Structure 1
Amino acid sequence: MILYSVLQDIKIKILIYLNKLHTLFLSHNKGVVIGEGSVVYYKSRIDCYSQSYNNNGGILIGKNCRIGCRNIRYHCGMPFYTSFLADGVGSKISVGDNCRVNGAYIHAEKSISIGNNCVIASGVNIVDSNGHVVNSSNRTSGRDVPHEIVIGNNVWICMNATILKGSVIGDNSIISAGSVIQGVIPPNSIASTTGELSIKEIRM
């Protein structure tokens, strides 16, 4: 047990070093801005087409965020890696301050905005486009029209939830595990689609 504990501590220290190195490397990518105190964990992917973060696109991660795929002493056994993709010229992903994103996939063809103090759990998909055209005789051709996603402050999106294009999630809301959301969720709500859609008020 003692040897195992020592080896685990060594492994964690190595991963901390790799995380810092990975964050430093990503911060030099054109189109990616990583705020002070934020860490992007090793093996996470941050990809964008823009050459600088501005109104024409890019990826912005605010201050004191943890973006990653950690499965040691947190979400043990989690199989997912975090991936951010701003897919195309003008596409944008912005994450506010003090957010935790662990094992989620965020893909913007237009714009995905996430507020401050948000928690996004493993297996979550946030995608602002259907990808393929719905009414098409050939599924391999054509591109869907994207619609921006806006996620407010202090939002918790639980494991394996999916947020689809055009969604707006109000401040202080919770999206239940496994839910599929497309539409407007009012502030201070718990939303679930596991069964019938259920939206309940959170009494603060």
Structure 2
Amino acid sequence: MSIEEFKEYVKGRCPLDTEEIHRFMDEMSDRARRVTFRLNTAYHTPDEVRGLLSELFGYEVPESLRLFPPFYTDFGGNITVGEDVFINACCHFQDHGGVFIGNGCQIGHNVVFATLNHGLPPETRRHTFPAPIVLGKNVWIGSNATVLQGVTIGDNAVVGAGAVVTKDVAANTVVGGVPAKFIKYI
């Protein structure tokens, strides 16, 4: 299976339940660990960080991308970032289903993006079901927030620190415990 075939498959939100898919996911996980271990275990200049992220994501990331390691992902090949994106330290991207980050987004410390979920009945619990996470332009995700599979967050929205986002967030809105002093800027 190729990364292109996998990405096309997960667009259909079909269960990840075959031996071929599991083998491919294991290979991608091994690859992601090799790159993130290098990223996270030594100092790197911003250019070196972007070089490692380009290797991990499978394309040349924008020169305007800023990311503070450590950074964690268990797949790495289904993350797309726009221009002028900032990702703070200790973020976890479970990107099998796709993580799409628009231009100008800011992502705080310890943010988790989880694009997979398990079936609830015992007979499907071993299977995972992918769905993408999509951030519009200029989205701010506060520290320790978790965004779950299938969520789209509209342009200019703010997700407060510690929030758990399970449903789409409309553009120009605030969810979670964002201090009032920030609301006037939206």
- One fold, TM greater than 0.5? yes
Task: Report the CA distance shift for 1:145/1:159 in structure 2 as closer, same or farther (over 3 A).
Answer: same
One-letter code aligned to 1:95:
V
2:92 to 105, 108, 122: 105
1:32 equivalent in alignment to 2:58 = yes
Q: Is the 8 A contact 1:98 1:116 kept in 2?
A: yes
1:93 equivalent to 2:79? Answer yes
Flag the 1:110–1:174 CA change in 2: closer, same or farther, 3 A: same
TM-score where L is the length of structure 1: 0.59
User: What pairs up with 1:114-153 in 2 under 5 angstroms?
Assistant: 114-130=101-117, 132-136=118-122, 142-153=126-137
Superposed CA deviations along residues 71-113 of structure 1, whole A, max 9, x for unmatched, are xxxxxxxxxx2123436xxx62101110000121111122111
Structure 1 gap ranges (5+): 1-13, 36-61, 70-80, 195-200
Structure 2 Cα separation of the partners of residues 99 and 30 of structure 1: 17
Please name the residue that 2:8 is paired with: none
Q: Which residue of the partner structure matches residue 10 of structure 2?
A: none
> Aligned partners of 2:184 and 2:149: how far apart in 1?
25
Give 2:161's aligned residue. 177
CA contact (8 A) 2:66 2:86 kept: yes
Query: Equivalent residue for 2:19?
Result: none
Separation in 1 of the partners of 2:185 and 2:176? 17
Q: How does 1:33-72 map to 2 (within 5 A)?
A: 33-35=59-61, 62-69=62-69
How far apart, CA to CA, are the structure 1 residues paired with 2:67 and 2:99? 16
1:188 matched to which residue of 2? 172
RMSD: 2.8
Structure number with higher relative contact order (C-alpha < 8 Å, ≥ 6 residues apart): 2
| Counterpart in the other structure of 1:168 | 152
What is the percent sequence identity of the aligned residues?
26
Deviations 1:1-29 (A, max 9, x none): xxxxxxxxxxxxx9454x544544554x3
Which structure carries more strand by proportion?
1
Partners of 1:170 and 1:202 lie apart in 2 by 18
Aligned length: 140
Q: TM-score, normalised by structure 2?
A: 0.64
Determine if contact 1:188/1:202 at 8 Å carries over to the other structure. Answer: no
Look at both structures and tell me which one has the larger radius of gyration over its CA atoms: 1
